[in-house]
């Protein structure tokens, strides 16, 4: 992810979305070369594949999931391999690939994983308190004008999304406030290396 990418608060609405992203990934894999983003979103909405109450919400989340999957890599072969993990991998593979997609798509997630989580795991410090996540976001507020304009409620919601994402991967226990690195997955870590995202390798269980 470019270090000058703008911070986006849309994560408060888009959140973890593992179930929805798997649905979109499976459709994209099935469509293959005939994949078209607009047609895909329309199909998901028409068939209400997410089982949401409104078409507007379905389309909004479908676009978010599709965007995340596209962000997995600029290399089509690498992107297809990662999308395959989301679509048809084990629950653990799908969850970790989904976290990676979130990081590649949203700079807040990228910074949180690369600056805070990766450092913790690389230095064998499993403690990650609620206060430390709050401090991470407070630092962003000091560094960036856009983040500074967000309300405390928005930042608190972002904190919850970041926590839920780690929990969704089985990497974090909210009660004990401790991180547990995942077992490295060869397919995922190979793709991360090919993308040049070495700074994220500790998040996926590789300490070098």
Least confidently predicted of 2-16, 69-83, 168-182: 2-16
Percentage with pLDDT > 70 across the chain: 99
Any idea where the domains of the chain sit in the sequence? 11-204
What pLDDT, on the 0 to 100 scale, is given for residue 1? Answer: 65
pLDDT at 208: 76
User: At residue 162, what are phi and psi to the nearest 5 degrees?
Assistant: -60, -45
User: How much is the pTM?
Assistant: 0.95
Two tokens, residue 41: 């979103």
Per residue in 121-134, pLDDT tens? Answer: 999 999 999 999 99
Confidence band for 156, pLDDT divided at 50, 70 and 90: very high
At 169, give phi and psi (nearest 5°): -95, 0
Options 1.10.3540.10, 3.40.50.10320, 3.40.50.300, 3.60.40.10; CATH for 11-204 is 1.10.3540.10
Instruction: Give 25-83 pLDDT, tens digit per residue.
Output: 999 999 998 999 999 999 999 999 999 999 999 999 999 999 999 999 999 999 999 99
Cα 2 from Cα 107, distance rounded (Å): 8
Task: Kindly tell me the burial class for residue 17, based on how many C-beta atoms sit within 10 Å of its own C-beta (0-12, 13-18, 19 or more).
Answer: buried
Please give the structure tokens belonging to residue 71: 């962000």
């Amino acid at each position: 992810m470019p270090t000058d990418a703008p911070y986006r608060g849309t994560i408060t609405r888009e959140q973890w979305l593992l179930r929805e992203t798997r649905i979109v990934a499976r459709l994209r894999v099935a469509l293959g070369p005939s994949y078209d983003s607009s047609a895909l979103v329309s199909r998901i909405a028409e068939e209400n594949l997410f089982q949401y109450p409104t078409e507007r919400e379905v389309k909004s989340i479908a676009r978010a999931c599709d965007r995340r999957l596209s962000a997995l890599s600029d290399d089509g072969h690498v992107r297809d391999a990662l999308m395959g993990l989301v679509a048809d991998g084990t629950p653990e593979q799908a969850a970790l690939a989904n976290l990676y997609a979130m990081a590649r798509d949203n700079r807040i997630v990228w910074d949180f994983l690369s600056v805070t989580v990766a450092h913790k795991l690389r230095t064998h410090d499993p403690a990650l308190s609620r206060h430390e996540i709050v401090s991470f976001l407070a630092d962003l507020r000091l560094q960036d004008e856009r983040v500074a304009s967000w309300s405390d409620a928005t930042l608190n919601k972002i904190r919850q999304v970041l926590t839920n994402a780690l929990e969704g991967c089985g990497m974090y226990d909210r009660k004990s406030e401790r991180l547990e690195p995942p077992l490295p997955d060869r397919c995922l870590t190979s793709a991360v290396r090919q993308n040049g995202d070495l700074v994220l390798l500790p998040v996926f269980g590789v300490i070098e």
